[in-house]
Chains A and B, each alone.
Chain A
Amino acid sequence: MPFLCRTRKAALLGATALLTVGLAPPGARADIPDENYRPVLEHLLGVVMPPKLDALHDATANLSDEIDDFCAEPDQDGLDEVREDFHAAMDVWQEVQPWRMGPMVANGRDQHIEYWPDKHGTATRQFRKLMFDKPAIYTDREKIAETSAALQGFPALEQVLFDDKLSPKLLDDDEDGVFLCGYGGAIGANLERMTGELVDEWPAFAQGMMEAGPDSMDYPDAKFAATDLYRALHEGLLIIVSQKLGRPLGDGPKDGKASRAESPTSKRSLRNITHNLTGLFAIYDGKWGDTGEEGKGLSALIDSSLLDRSFRLNWQTMADALDKLPPSIVELLDQPDGYQKLADFAGQVSFVNTLVEGDVGGTTQLGGGFNALDGD
């Protein structure tokens, strides 16, 4: 039986290539009717995403409250609890993060929530100065929003809560401890405010996409609107490969560096990717945890059950590989074969993205047009 299972699995994994070869050229394939894209839009934008944004807002609100409670009477247990709340809020954020559209990116919101990658080490430089000067604006819960994006979101809070040198100061009743608590509280409040704006602004944005039509200057048809969801899936995987894994991998084994990864201080670089994949798969599948319904995402537009099953299996293989790795790239790269494992995983994500480009993009007809794919 296990052999049969393996055989069946191999056949499905290989089916993608066969199907790709067997697909008719785009010009010969019938167009998917525009009305077929509308239910996908309605499901993903109207049913699936709003509860996740609520969950993000709730998690940041809880984090903000917990920081305040902790700072009222700082102790190690309290700090551990705040760190757990940080992880809980980051988990939800990492699921939502790849849906890069509308209110998520308006006014640089995604970067204010999480300024990363920080190619020039802006945060480190500014953070050093901040601790030296301790400007009052950084403990002001309203005005912190006017400060540098690098110092007002999750990465800055990560430094406050997890940095080996800084976080112990939170327990001290001195100038540094008081400032760090005030700063952490302001970041928490700022995150709560920004995620609240996301909740508020999403419905109107989603409505605009769901009402795509010839009179709309933003979305002239439902297919065009659905393209933004396909792009989020495709670009989300690209960002994982080129940035979240590519940056720590560097140019080769000797150049590997965990500190270039996302969230290295809280040791959750790969945990972030686990949650990215959850949010990304929801775009394909239509189900996101307890929210939504399987088969109502982009997969609803795929008329081949074999191709759909093959894609799901390849995705699951990639997710299983990630589950076998520790949550931290710091920890992984400390292992003798850690670099190779990380490189192998990057290769798997890259492979799945070729399936997104070829199979999902081709079959849903959302993969881009003549100029978009091969302009000059």
Chain B
Amino acid sequence: MKHQRREFLKLMGVGGAFTLLPISIARGAAPTSIEDRAHYISASAGDHDDFYVSAFNANGKILFEQALPGRGHDLGLRPNHVDVAAVERRPGLYGLILDRHSGEVRAKLHCPKDRRFYGHAVYSDDGRFLYITENDFDHARGVVSVWDAEDGYRRIAEFDSFGTGPHELHLMPDGESLVIANGGLHTHPDFDGRTALNIDSMEPNLSIIDRHTGKLIHQAALKADWHQLSIRHLDVAPNGTIAAGFQYQGELTDQVPLVGLWQPGSEIRPIEAPDNVQLRMRQYCGSVRFDASGQVFGISCPRGGLITFWDVKTSDFLTHIAAPDGCGLAATDVAGQFVGTSGLGNGWRMDAIRRNRVELPDDSLKSLHWDNHLRRISI
């Protein structure tokens, strides 16, 4: 039955508007606290190479599934608007603008033929401009494209990302600059678009650019010994502190940090968990997310099945909570509290301060594999 439903969604195609559960019905059963009214939205997948953007409520009840033409990755939420940008994961060709309440497709973005989308997008605070990381693969150069949401999502500019293989990007708290994680990995569609071609010479960095002019404002890299630490994911605290998660391209047994904190203008400060946790992070971080207070951040480690939590003030490891295949991570409105999702179909509410994990009660969540990133929508 579930499978039939997905087939039907596929037949509807990406241009179709389809809501499995009308939002009004979901709201009708909704309790009253702020968190209970929150919705979560993420890229997801079925068992048969079928891909979606899906939303669920605070209990884990799926609200809609919108079929995608290929595997998604992260979502960009347009402030004060229904638009959600879903950009295909690398090497991506499509971008869709969806209605966050129904999944209805509102616009389509097409990647230029000599570029590939890299899965992440973010809007300006006023919601007018959408910024997407892309690969200029023939020149091994990362770029950030700019799309005007008020002009039918027309691609209006392209900036240098000041590195290779740009991945996640975020707006800085000043609203005027963007921080970009340049993962350092060069890929090319002629070689499947995902295989790294420059492991020996990769040079990842974090760069901050002016979102209006594209001018480089700050840049930092890890020390040369750690050049194989691909800086892929990040989040920004309200005070401008940047937390970053790394993915190591070297040996399993190499002892390298997997997490870094950056105050723009200074060096990236690498931080580590105790050895037995560090090992279980398996040299790979998935998502990075600050909590509601901006004092704690979580980093998911799907290869190790852990979510790790860190104190931004002291740069200390706080704790970890097991989350098999857990990767998606979003902060609730409570300090230290997160919702996480897994590729196995689980959803949890996790408290980093009390070291507590509670499974979301609605089983409908389990019908999908939840992808890399999770976003929270306050209703």
Contacts and interface: CB of A to CB of B under 8 A. Distances in A.
B109 interface: no
B252 A25 contact: no
B252 A238 contact: yes
A106 B371 contact: no
Contacts of A26: 47
A263 to B, nearest CB: 16
B342 A369 contact: yes
B298 interface: no
A216 B286 CA distance: 22
Contacts of B282: 231
A226 to B, nearest CB: 11
A298 B64 CA distance: 39
Contacts of B342: 369-371
A217 B322 contact: yes
Contact of A220 (B90, B167, B279, B324): B324
A41 B255 CA distance: 28
A207 to B, nearest CB: 15
Contacts of B325: 368-372
B322 A371 contact: no
Contact of B343 (A28, A214, A224, A369): A369
A207 B344 CA distance: 26
A101 to B, nearest CB: 8
A217 B357 contact: yes
B253 A371 contact: no
A305 interface: no
Majority DSSP secondary structure for residues of A touching B: helix
Interface in A105-143: 105-109, 111, 117, 119
A102 B324 contact: no
Nearest to A224: B324
A107 B343 contact: no
B303 A368 contact: yes
A375 B275 contact: no
Contacts, number: 102
Interface string B296-334: 000000110100000000000001111111110000000
A243 B372 contact: no
Contacts of B305: 224, 227, 372
A238 B357 CA distance: 33
B129 interface: no
A369 B302 contact: yes
Contact of B303 (A101, A214, A218, A372): A372
B32 interface: no
A372 B302 contact: yes
A221 B369 CA distance: 19
A115 to B, nearest CB: 11
A218 B308 CA distance: 11
B73 A376 contact: yes
A236 to B, nearest CB: 10
A175 B48 CA distance: 72
Contact of A370 (B252, B355, B369): B369
Nearest to B46: A27
A248 to B, nearest CB: 15
Interface in B340-379: 342-344, 355-357, 359, 369-372
B302 A220 contact: no
Interface string A254-276: 00000000000000000000000
Nearest to B73: A376
A372 B343 contact: yes
A372 B344 CA distance: 10
Contact of A218 (B89, B322, B344, B370): B322
B28 interface: no
B231 interface: no
B368 to A, nearest CB: 10
A351 interface: no
Given A216-B322, A243-B253, A370-B325, A27 B355 contact: no
A219 interface: yes
B322 A25 contact: no
B344 A369 contact: yes
B31 interface: no
Closest CB pairs A-B (n = 8): A370-B343, A27-B47, A369-B325, A371-B302, A371-B343, A370-B369, A371-B327, A369-B343
Given A214-B359, A376-B73, 8 more contacts: A108-B275, A217-B356, A221-B324, A223-B324, A242-B252, A370-B369, A376-B167, A376-B372
Interface of A: 25-28, 100-103, 105-109, 111, 117, 119, 214, 216-221, 223-224, 227-228, 231, 235, 238-239, 242-243, 368-372, 375-376
9 contacts: A101-B276, A117-B251, A219-B322, A227-B324, A242-B252, A369-B324, A370-B344, A375-B372, A376-B167
Interface of B: 45, 47-48, 73, 89-90, 119, 167, 232, 251-255, 274-276, 279-280, 282, 284, 286, 302-303, 305, 319-327, 342-344, 355-357, 359, 369-372
